[in-house]
Chains A and B, each alone.
Chain A
Amino acid sequence: MSEERFILDVIEEASAKRRSDRRRFMRMAAGAGAVGGLAMLGACGSDDNDVIVLPTPTPTATAGSVTDADVLNFALQLEYLEAQFYSYAAFGAGLSASLQAGTGTQGSVATSTSGQPRQVAFQDPLVAQYAREIAYDEIAHVTFLRNALGSSAVAQPAINLSGDANGAFTAAARAAGVIGSTGTFDPYASDENFLLAAYIFEDVGVTAYMGGVTLLSNKTFVEAAAGIHAAEAYHAGLVRSVIYRKGLSNGTLITAANQISDARDSLDGSTDLDQGITVTANGVTSANIVPADSNAVAFVRTPQQVLNVVYLNKAAVTGGGFFPSGLNGNVRTSAASG
């Protein structure tokens, strides 16, 4: 047995074995995980000019596969969603129109008299600073991916960020049990609600990029995706840390975060790919800021599993939840996850 073969076998055995005794919120046997390829090559680590020479993604897929453009366009739409949410919450306005055009059907951010996305009247000035920082980062991701894709970039699809009874946030909160079945969840109503709404997205972004990079072939794109992957993990670590600290004097926050995590996990299939922000061992509950398997390796979601979460539907569908008309591009159908 070659050394590399041995290492591979051990990794696979260890992963399978250890996932089965996952330390937190484990509910299912493991394994299905898409262990694919990640080839982070390239080196664009300088921020000095931030000039990255980008190859042109090939828009034509060979049969049965997705192109790099498909994967990047998938990521772009998640970034539209995140960027719009944070931009409204932090500044009271969405992305500029010039950042929304592209191929496919352009949609708008759903509005209504009661549920219009709006600036949060932050009480904690630090939360306001965090909201602005993340908003700027997500806008930068939209801009970067649109630049990378050029004329292949998909338009922003219709997005539901409403804070009213018909909003996707309310649907998610009801499904998770954060509110009653007739309650309304308004992510713009308070610092706490804003943080919980951010929590809905951030860990999903981490798992999405981790899954997405395995589908990319061009190494420059893969390296960039890994860099965005890290950024989303920083964001998620930030949001989870703040919720946990505030939750010590407001236990419902921790309960809600854990309920949201469970809801995400129930949407994406039987494999445990999510964790709340607390862990209880030997009767003692403590922080679980980092969602990871028993090897302390982060989780992976396939694009189809990510769509389960953002469509708020565990079946194979092409729209719903935060994307009422579905995504643009070729990756648009969620997995049949339950």
Chain B
Amino acid sequence: MTESAHLLDAFDARAQRRDQRRAFFKTAMGAAAAGVAAFTLTSKAGAQSTITDADILNFALNLEYLEAQFYAFAANGTGLASNQLTGTGTQGAVTGGKKVTFTDPIVEQYAREIAADEAAHVAFLRTALGSSAVAQPAINISGDANGAFTAAARASGVIDSNATFDPYASDENFLLGAYIFEDVGVTAYKGASPLISNKTFLQAAAGILAVEAYHAAIVRTTLYAKGIQTPALITAAGKISDARDSLDGTTDLDQGIAATTVGGQLVSNIVPLDSNGIAFSRTPQQVLNIVYLNKASATLGGFFPAGVNGTLRASAAN
């Protein structure tokens, strides 16, 4: 293979990933979506000029509550301490959540590490916000038939329309449950940052963004490696990715973990990136589409049955 062929393949690899993704799209795709996305976010940022940095940090705090509670229950069997839940708005309880009986000790270690990180994010943001911090809203992380995980798994086709998805039932289900959240966290922090004005906050947000990307890589790498023996895992991750993508509008902002073949050689897809090697962004409203499990403009649903607290609480109309 020549050197120039390598370069061309670099683009081909991404193009193939995009093509693969497009094949799964449930919603109609705009052929010229690139410019649309740019203008959409820019106009939103401008239209919402009254949003404060505290609004943005509180939005992030809601997401961290969700992640922290999921991992805390999965790793330790208990949720966040009660003094980490108070604040403005309506405080809600956690529905569901239990300790996973891990069979792979490495997955258990990863769960503990991520749980500690997410709890630290909650504490950090609450400390930063002080008396402005929102309370934890009602959170549904149940593993039963009425759980948000089951709704997400049904909608994505990971399970049948009357089956139950319990993210605490096995290592594999835990990893898929984590997968639902982690890449979204990366895109959320990247997408929320244009709305932050204070540079210290932005630097902190970038540092949390990087940590979420590390987490996402742990989860994706582990799922992919296990998926070599259990291909259904790779299929399920792809379906979850497609479902996220169908909720957040027509722009392709998500990628599964299936390998592609470039020049006759398999290339993994641990890192979801555009063809410039750059990670995706989601607006807060697009993130809410995913965690509410609703592509319409809504103020609650899915993992947040009473909605998030704070001023950023309505999802986009997609």
In the assembly, what is the distance between CA of A177 and CA of B79, in Å? 42
Partner of B262, one of A132, A223, A226, A296: A132
Interface residues on A, range: 35 or more
Tell me if B228 counts as interface (CB < 8 A to partner A).
yes
Chain B residues whose C-beta falls within 8 Å of the C-beta of A126 in the assembled complex: 224-225, 228, 268
Of A49-57, A191-199, A256-264, the one touching chain B = A49-57
Interface residues of B in 180-196 (CB under 8 A from A): 186-187, 190-191, 193-194, 196
Of A63-71, A134-142, A182-190, A322-330, the one touching chain B = A134-142
Residue of B nearest to A52 (CB): B276
* A6 and B130 contact, CB distance less than 8 A: yes
Partner of A234, one of B128, B200, B216, B282: B216
Partner of A288, one of B35, B45, B113, B193: B113
* A300 and B40 contact, CB distance less than 8 A: no
In the assembly, what is the distance between CA of A25 and CA of B100, in Å? 29
Chain B 5-41 interface mask (CB, 8 Å, partner A; 1/0): 0110111011000100000000000011111111011
Interface residues of B in 212-226 (CB under 8 A from A): 213-218, 220-222, 224-225
In the assembly, what is the distance between CA of A299 and CA of B252, in Å? 30
In the assembly, what is the distance between CA of A11 and CA of B205, in Å? 12
Of A31-39, A110-118, A152-160, A312-320, the one touching chain B = A31-39
Partner of A300, one of B207, B209, B279: B207
Chain B 120-139 interface mask (CB, 8 Å, partner A; 1/0): 11011001111010000000
With known contacts A11-B201, A287-B113, A210–B217 Cβ distance under 8 A: no
Tell me if A105 counts as interface (CB < 8 A to partner B).
no
Chain A residues whose C-beta falls within 8 Å of the C-beta of B215 in the assembled complex: 237, 290
* A231 and B210 contact, CB distance less than 8 A: no
* B251 and A45 contact, CB distance less than 8 A: yes
Chain B residues whose C-beta falls within 8 Å of the C-beta of A121 in the assembled complex: none
In the assembly, what is the distance between CA of A228 and CA of B279, in Å? 7
* A93 and B1 contact, CB distance less than 8 A: yes
* A45 and B280 contact, CB distance less than 8 A: yes
Interface residues of B in 257-282 (CB under 8 A from A): 259, 262, 265-282
In the assembly, what is the distance between CA of A30 and CA of B218, in Å? 28
Tell me if A129 counts as interface (CB < 8 A to partner B).
yes
Chain A residues whose C-beta falls within 8 Å of the C-beta of B193 in the assembled complex: 38-41, 223, 226
* B106 and A233 contact, CB distance less than 8 A: no
Interface residues of A in 82-122 (CB under 8 A from B): 87, 91, 93-99
Interface residues of A in 135-186 (CB under 8 A from B): 135-141, 143-144
Tell me if B103 counts as interface (CB < 8 A to partner A).
no
Interface residues of A in 270-324 (CB under 8 A from B): 286-300
* A94 and B198 contact, CB distance less than 8 A: no
Tell me if A238 counts as interface (CB < 8 A to partner B).
yes
* B278 and A40 contact, CB distance less than 8 A: no
Chain B residues whose C-beta falls within 8 Å of the C-beta of A231 in the assembled complex: 213, 271, 273, 277-279
Tell me if B53 counts as interface (CB < 8 A to partner A).
yes
With known contacts A241-B221, A287-B113, A288-B113, A233–B267 Cβ distance under 8 A: no
Chain A residues whose C-beta falls within 8 Å of the C-beta of B117 in the assembled complex: 290, 292, 296
Tell me if A14 counts as interface (CB < 8 A to partner B).
yes
Residue of B nearest to A139 (CB): B10
Q: Is the interface of A mostly helix, strand, loop or mixed?
A: helix
* A42 and B42 contact, CB distance less than 8 A: yes
Chain B 36-77 interface mask (CB, 8 Å, partner A; 1/0): 111011100100000011100100000000000000000000
Interface residues of A in 205-254 (CB under 8 A from B): 206, 210, 213-214, 219, 223-224, 226-231, 233-238, 240-242, 244-245, 248
Tell me if B316 counts as interface (CB < 8 A to partner A).
no
Tell me if B202 counts as interface (CB < 8 A to partner A).
yes
Tell me if B116 counts as interface (CB < 8 A to partner A).
yes
Partner of A226, one of B2, B190, B222: B190
With known contacts A14-B127, A226-B193, A296-B120, A41–B45 Cβ distance under 8 A: yes
In the assembly, what is the distance between CA of A45 and CA of B186, in Å? 12
Which of B36, B40, B116, B270 has most A Cβ within 10 Å? B270
* A233 and B213 contact, CB distance less than 8 A: yes
In the assembly, what is the distance between CA of A190 and CA of B209, in Å? 32
A214 to chain B, nearest CB (A): 6
- Beyond A136-B9, A234-B216, A241-B217, list 8 extra A-B contacts (CB 8 Å): A40-B206, A41-B194, A48-B33, A50-B274, A138-B277, A224-B278, A290-B113, A291-B214
26 contacts between A and B (CB under 8 A): A37-B202, A38-B202, A38-B205, A38-B206, A40-B206, A42-B194, A44-B38, A48-B33, A51-B35, A52-B276, A132-B266, A137-B271, A137-B273, A210-B203, A226-B206, A227-B190, A227-B280, A228-B278, A229-B206, A230-B278, A231-B277, A237-B213, A240-B214, A241-B222, A290-B117, A296-B120
> Which 4 A-B pairs have CB atoms at the shortest separation, nearest pair first?
A237-B217, A37-B199, A47-B274, A43-B41
